[in-house]
Structure 1
Amino acid sequence: MKIEQIYTGCLAHAAYYLESNGEVAIFDPLREVHPYIKKAEKAHSKIKYVFETHFHADFVSGHLDLAQKTGATIVYGPTAKPVFEATIAEDNQIFEVGSCKVKVIHTPGHTLESTTYLLIDENGKESGLITGDTLFIGDVGRPDLAQHVIADLTQEKLAGYLFDSLRNKIMPLSDDLIVYPNHGAGSACGKMMSKETTDTLGNQKRLNYALRPDMTKNEFIKAVLTGLTAPPAYFPKNVLMNIKGYESMDVVIERGEKSLSPTDFELVANETNALILDSRQTDDFAAGFIPNSINIGLDSNFAMWVGELIPDIKQEILLVTDEGKEEETITRLARVGYDHAIGFLKGGFEAWKLSEKDFETVDRISADEFAHKYSSEPLIVLDVRKKSEYDSEHIVNAVNIPLNEINDHLAEIPKDKPFILHCVGGYRSMIAASILKQRGWDNFVDVKGGFTAIAQTNVPKTAYVCPTTLL
């Protein structure tokens, strides 16, 4: 039996490839399915099953395309009600993959249909546990997401189900099982996941706060619900796509890969309500960009920030990318359900400049320049990091408006006074800068290198939470 974790860092997502005696099962695949198909073909094996641990919220799964292209059977755990054809397994049901077995263990809590899959090798030994969002390394799945899809569920009720699933279904299993979760650190599906992406169940019983053996159900519910932040707005929309289905990835790629000259790009932008999304790196965007475009760079958590900041999942999008990055950008949009890219700028931003069309820039200063200004004149400083980052340490008198909340607080940001913008390293503040530019602000500068660079200067810093008004 071969089990391989296929980890995608920008989503902190893990899919799994199980192979035995010419047959393959894929667990929780991403939207683009060709890598799984190629891997199976290289091994001269056939994909027999696509196992889903639950209806995912943070990405659109590739189950439908994978089944359509390979003839594989889609499998969900008990209580799942997909609109498309799938096998709804019974608790403890066994599926054979080559000479090994996959046992279904229904573990509701993160969602009602959440299911863990116990892997049993060719010798009959229980060797691994694919836990989905039920059990992470160092954490458990947040139990507040399904309530956004099913109205009569509460997070307290789901947390109680999760407690029972962990105590009655997971913790009695052997300590030497390898835990294979669906996510690692950086995912919004938990709050304190480890950077490690596998561990033994025995270690997790000892180290995971949620598996403490003497914890009562009430203590558990309080522990898992404390400190949860609001989930990204796109989560419920991805759940519904995973339940109801979606267009083939092939169609999405073909639509998005329409090459447009600068003149045609401008014409389409003017004739549609398309959003211009620039996925280049921060420095390149700051040096020049098409007016009204939004910068979300591919070099960090691109899909997450798209989901946080573009409210309409069906929004038409025109792309400005580095040359050769067009398909990657379309793919990463589609991973979180943004399927309506309608074309890209041929030749990238350089072609736009060569056509002598208007463009804008973002003014930036170094951390040393910021320190000099801070010591010599009153400054309005806008910090767009998360509240937890701000509370940990921030510049004295800086105001915190987290990036994911900026659209709700635009009225608090002055247009008649200059201000300075920063995040931790420059990625998020450039997104904020592009949003502000699009909305008519032009009275600010961005700190290159962000708080990380500022922290190396003598600017006073504190953990005191300052009033959140700029006016």
Structure 2
Amino acid sequence: MKIEQIYTGCLAQGAYYIESNGEVAIIDPLRETQQYVDKAESEDAKIKYIFETHFHADFVSGHVDLAKKTGATIVYGPGAETTYDIHTAKDNEVFKLGHVTIKVLHTPGHTLESSTFLLVDENGKEHAIFSGDTLFLGDVGRPDLAIKSDLTKEDLAGMLYDSLRQKIMTLPDDIIVYPAHGAGSACGKNLSKETIGILGDQKKTNYALRASMTKAEFIKEVLDGIAPPPQYFAKNAMMNKSGYDDFDSILQKGNTPLTPEKFEYLANTEGALVLDVRTEQDFVKAHIPNSIFIGLNGGFAPWVGALITDLKQPILLVTPSGKEQETVTRLSRVGYDNTLGYLNGGIESWKATAKDIESITSIPVDQFSKIFNSDRINVLDVRKDGEYKSEHLKGDQIKHFALDYINENMNVIDKNQEYYIHCAGGYRSVIAASILKARGVNVIDIAGGFSAIKNSDLPTTNYVCPSTL
């Protein structure tokens, strides 16, 4: 028996490869599936099953493509309905894989069809669970993502409480836990940086598995502090439910080199968004007018999903050399399949044609400090709410909204004013600056963000909850 976790850091997502006696199961595969086919072939094995723990909301799974390539059966838990062929498993149904078995434990709560897969080894010992978004290390899945359900998030949280206590906590302490996500995922609140754990440890340390916890306490705690889900979640979940175009054709279309002239033509005639994925430092120095920055070196795919509202939006890419295919792939993981191509030769080829280039003014914190007390200055903090509440610049001129909700907060931005923008370190503030600049707002980036600000002589304040005053 072989088990391999295939972890993708930018999505904080774990897919799994399980092999026994020449038969393979893949759990929660990524959109690009050739890696699983190649691995099985290298092991002289055949992919028999594709197990989906639930309809994923934070990424587009590769299950449909992988089934077409291999003939493997897609397995979902009870209640799952799709427009393509699947095997809808019954609770406690057992699947034979070589010398091991995989048992379906229906664990609704994160979503209605959510299931945990229990692996029983060659000796009949309960070895591991693949818990999807039902159980993370340090947390559990958010119960507010069910597709077209008339149930409330409180109803689903109650289901999750029962699932954990009736199906998960009754298992032996030495069982290995393989979750679908780790720290950085928006599918939970307090996920651990660890991606593999032991159930007994989770029973001791995971707040949601506290033995003395009542259902009412669980519902309150699991829902406390959950931010609204990113806007693309429901769209990705529907793609996973209804199917999608095959990845190979998406990659072929998107990985197309374009001359500056063709690039500009498509931008003007197709209504394409120019997406620059270089570093924030490179973007600040020089970029194509009206382009949007979301760098590959940060949480690229989730930020694309949070900020580009239309999955069908035509996209043109400005990338570092050699990163073109990677960029198209990472866009497709969250359902952005309409990439038209990339600027061949990058920004240097654009410059060589003498086409317009723009930049963003970025100033060091010591320069910002000298003008901070001006009555006319406007400062925009685009960090998350928790970061802002923990500590922020003190002053009436400070505005705050998280970058995630910039599209919803444009009404508080005055296009006749100039804004000094910061986040924690610089990545998010340049994203915000690019969006605002493309919409006609004058912006100045504060280099180094709040990390630099709090180490300067600028006044900051710790947040105090009003109830404690």
Residue of structure 1 equivalent to 2:171? 173
**Cα offsets for 1:252-294 (capped at 9, x unmatched):** 0111122110011111111111111111110011111111110
Structure 2 residue identity aligned to 1:13: Q
Partner of 1:469: none
| AA matched with 1:235 | F
Secondary structure of the corresponding residue to residue 40 of structure 1? helix
User: Residues 71-82 of structure 1: matches in 2 within 5 Å?
Assistant: 71-82=71-82
- C-alpha displacement of 1:378: 5.8
**1:418 and 1:333 mapped to 2: Cα distance?**
32
CA distance in 2, matches of 1:59, 1:222: 27
Please show how residues 290-309 of structure 1 align to structure 2 within 5 Å.
290-309=288-307
1: CA distance, partners of 2:85 / 2:261: 45
Letter of the aligned partner of 1:87 in structure 2? H
The DSSP-based 3-state class of the residue aligned with 1:11 is: coil
- The match for 2:21 is 21
Give the drift of 1:295: 0.4
Task: Give the counterpart of 2:202 among 181, 201, 204.
Answer: 204
Give the CA deviation at 1:41.
1.4
2-side partners of 1:26 and 1:297: how far apart?
Answer: 30
SS at match of 2:372: helix
Distance in 1, Cα, partners of 2:392 & 2:359: 27
Residue number in structure 2 paired with 1:446? 445
Q: Secondary structure at the match of 2:138?
A: coil
CA drift at 1:416: 3.0
Equivalent residue letter for 2:276: D
* RMSD, aligned CA: 1.3
Structure 1, gaps ≥5 residues long: 467-471
Select 1:153's aligned residue among 134, 151, 159: 151
1:40 paired to 2:35: no
Cα separation, 2, equivalents of 1:448 and 1:38: 44
Task: Report the residue type matching 2:455 in the other structure.
Answer: Q
Q: For 1:116, what is the secondary structure of its paired residue? A: strand
Q: Distance in 2 between matches of 1:377 and 1:151?
A: 51
**Letter matched to residue 80 of structure 2:** A
Of the candidates 346, 353, 356, which is equivalent to residue 354 of structure 2? 356
Pairing 1:91–2:91 present: yes
- After TM superposition, the score normalised by the length of structure 2 is 0.97
Matched residues, number: 463
The 2-side partners of 1:412 and 1:161 are apart by 40
Q: Quick one: which amino acid aligns to residue 171 of structure 1?
A: M
Q: Quick one: which of 321, 337, 340 aligns to 1:339?
A: 337
Structure 2 residue matching 1:124: 3-state secondary structure = coil
Q: Which residue of 2 aligns with 1:120?
A: 120
Q: Which residue of 2 aligns with 1:69?
A: 69
Q: Deviations over 1:97-127 (max 9, x none)?
A: 1111111111011011000000111111111
For residues 10 and 167 of structure 1, the distance between their equivalents in structure 2, rounded to whole angstroms, comes to: 31
Cα distance in 2 between the residues matched to 1:12 and 1:383: 26
* CA offsets 1:386-443 (integer angstroms, 9 cap, x no match): 111000011112321211111222232233333311001111100111101110112x
Residues of 2 paired with 1:34 and 1:427: CA distance? 32
Q: Is the 8 A contact 2:105 2:118 kept in 1?
A: yes
Task: Please report how far the alpha carbon of residue 367 of structure 1 lies from its aligned counterpart in structure 2 after TM superposition.
Answer: 1.8
Matched residue SS, 1:10: coil
> Is contact 2:416-2:441 (8 Å) kept?
no
Q: Which amino acid aligns with 2:5?
A: Q
Q: Which residue of 2 aligns with 1:460?
A: 459
Aligned partner of 2:314: which letter?
Answer: E
Distance 1:376 1:293 in 2: 31
What letter corresponds to residue 168 of structure 1 in structure 2?
Answer: Q
1:386 matched to 2:384: yes
Counterpart pick for 2:309 among 308, 311, 323: 311
Structure 1 length normalisation: TM-score?
0.96
Q: Secondary structure at the match of 1:180?
A: strand
What is the CA–CA distance in structure 2 between the aligned matches of 1:71 and 1:222, rounded to whole Å?
44
Task: Summarize the Cα distance change of 1:216–1:299 in structure 2 as closer, same or farther, 3 Å threshold.
Answer: same
- Please tell me the residue identity of whatever aligns with 1:6: I
Residue of structure 2 equivalent to 1:191: 189
Residue type of the alignment partner of 2:202: Q
The CA distance in 1 between the partners of 2:309 and 2:417, in whole Å, is 29
1:379 is displaced (CA, Å) by 3.1
Q: How far apart, in 1, do the equivalents of 2:421 and 2:319 lie? A: 24
Q: Secondary structure at the match of 1:311?
A: coil
What do residues 12-41 of structure 1 show as CA deviations (whole Å, max 9, x unaligned)? 100011111111110000100111111111
| Cα separation, 2, equivalents of 1:365 and 1:377 | 19
Structure-2 separation of matches of 1:436 and 1:388: 23
Deviation at 1:375, TM superposition (A): 5.7
Shift of 1:373: 2.6
The one of 216, 219, 222 equivalent to 1:221 is 219
Deviation at 1:448, TM superposition (A): 1.2
Contact 2:417 2:441 (8 Å CA) reproduced: no
Distance 1:209 1:405 in 2: 29
Question: Which one-letter code corresponds to 2:250 in the other structure?
Answer: V
Aligned equivalents of 1:70 and 1:408: distance in 2?
A: 43
